[in-house]
Amino acid sequence: MSYFDAASAAPLHPVARQALTAALDEGWADPARLYREGRRARLLLDAAREAAAEAAGCRPDELVFTSSGTRAVHSGIEGALAGRRRMGRHLIVSAVEHSSVLHWAEILEADGGTVTRVPVSRAGAVTPGAYEAALRPDTALACLQSANHEVGTVQPVAAVADVCRAAGVPLLVDAAQSLGWGPVEGDWSVLTASAHKWGGPSGVGLLVVRKGVRFAPQGPLDERESGRAAGFENIPAIVAAAASLRAVRAEAAEQAVRLRELTERIRARVPQLVPDVEVVGDPAGRLPGIVTFSCLYVDGESLLHELDRAGFSVSSGSSCTSSTLTPSHVLKAMGVLSEGNIRVSLPYATPAEEVERFLSVLPGVVAAVREKLGAPSSRTVAGVDTPDDALVVDALGKRCPIPVIELAKVIGDVPVGGTVRVLSDDEAARLDIPAWCEMREQEYVGEEPAERGSAYVVRRRS
């Protein structure tokens, strides 16, 4: 089985496994106690904190360990907002932040605060100017991920940090995806990360708060972790997290070159091997091991299952793999195709042979899924009784990618300049039909209200 979902959770690093086993014997006692076992546990905890702080580019007394990366994000946002409550309750986030950030933004809005969601380019990147424009006198905090978890696009953190610093606003950086590759550059104020993203054990997060940043931990105070993370420290997991972070950093430069070459191979060859594919994310400014592409006329869930049967574990931002049947907020913000979306994120030491096997299997898998769904192989359609230059496709009640498939089947039945109105009540159609038009060089006229759902109007150009 080839595991290609390291962006969700990287396999446990061998160094983490060794450190975890050793720390289970040495680090089980309460590090707050003064007897021998407690002192031994404290030494392990302090050494892990120093190693993690070195990797994060901060002082050891600025870093605390939390129970997860999500907990670190929530505590970081909550504490930073509370520390600056006299300034106001305005929060700035990018439209492609991790759900842990966006969920907190929703809570703030429900409680009377305000949130500005900064848009991104089609490659998934923000601009420092957009953050500067979003700043207000009542802005308490800005948030920006260092690199996107779905498409790998690296954000201009240092430039955004400069803009925020000039305005006196702290910047919280979610570095979950990038910290294993290197420190986050720039004059940021708060940083969060998660150990299972770099090959450490799950259940360990990092929260860094720079000295001088106004920060007020919320909830019942705890004497542990500077009062910023309540509860007994999981010292064996913390030790393993710090040890694996140091280990992956030592390998990062070499691995980055190798994995970047493999993902470049995927980016270049997938569109050659599979028709009607859009490779998404920044082609250059991205993490080494992530490549994401979307396939027209493919059910994302079926595609994932078929690849799993073929021996590949990949992930997807497609609405068809979601219990809510709504497209990924990242792909939606980028304005790219969401149907048939596949994210390949390669772990360290992925053999080149596994990538070649993936490339050999993928075309047949996609073709098989398209055939099952009745993807267009001709330009004929039955049951349409409309003028030659204005067809209506009723796709109500049909989920992705069926509305787009039915659009593709009939576009050739109208003359150049004629239109097709696709009736759909699937949220993904709002994103995928315009994306299809751009890929197939047709004109997306716009969305119109309908008795049920919406009507998406497409004009044939060629």
User: How far is the C-alpha of 23 from the C-alpha of 245, rounded, in Å?
Assistant: 16
User: How far is the C-alpha of 205 from the C-alpha of 192, rounded, in Å?
Assistant: 7
Q: Please spell the DSSP secondary structure of 344-393, one letter per residue.
A: EEPPTT--HHHHHHHHHHHHHHHHHHHHHHT--SSS--SS--S-TTEEEE
**Residue 437 annotated in active site:** no
Cα angle for residues 269, 273, 277 (degrees, 5° grid): 85
User: How far is the C-alpha of 437 from the C-alpha of 203, rounded, in Å?
Assistant: 43
- Cβ 125 vs Cβ 155: under 8 Å: yes
User: How far is the C-alpha of 170 from the C-alpha of 87, rounded, in Å?
Assistant: 12
How high is the mean pLDDT of the chain?
Answer: 92
351-373 pLDDT per residue, tens: 999 999 999 999 999 999 999 98
- Is pLDDT above 70 for 305? yes
pLDDT of residue 167: 97
- Is pLDDT above 60 for 378? no
pLDDT of residue 341: 92
pLDDT of residue 39: 92
Intra-chain end-to-end CA distance of the chain, in Å: 44
pLDDT of residue 178: 97
User: How far is the C-alpha of 435 from the C-alpha of 324, rounded, in Å?
Assistant: 21
How many Cα neighbours within 13 Å face the side chain of 427? 13
- Is pLDDT above 50 for 16? yes
- Is pLDDT above 50 for 293? yes
| pLDDT band, residue 322 (cuts 50/70/90) | low
- Active-site residue (options: 58, 143, 320, 400): 320
235-276 pLDDT per residue, tens: 999 999 999 999 999 999 999 999 999 999 999 999 999 999
- What 8-state DSSP symbol labels residue 147? B
Instruction: For tokens 């006329």, name the residue.
Output: 297
27-62 pLDDT per residue, tens: 998 898 999 999 999 999 999 999 999 999 999 999
pLDDT of residue 325: 58
Bridge partners (DSSP) listed for residue 391 = 420
Hey, what are 92's tokens? Answer: 């700035």
Bridge partners (DSSP) listed for residue 42 = none
State residue 162 phi and psi, 5-degree precision: -65, -40
pLDDT of residue 383: 36
- Is pLDDT above 50 for 379? no
User: How far is the C-alpha of 397 from the C-alpha of 426, rounded, in Å?
Assistant: 7
pLDDT of residue 385: 41
User: How far is the C-alpha of 50 from the C-alpha of 284, rounded, in Å?
Assistant: 33
pTM of the model: 0.90
- Is pLDDT above 60 for 425? yes
Chain centroid to CA 66: how far?
Answer: 21
State residue 356 phi and psi, 5-degree precision: -65, -40
Sign of the alpha-carbon dihedral angle for 317, 289, 304, 409: positive
Cis peptide before 401 (omega within 30 of 0): yes
Which of 22-36, 176-190, 399-413: highest mean pLDDT? Answer: 176-190
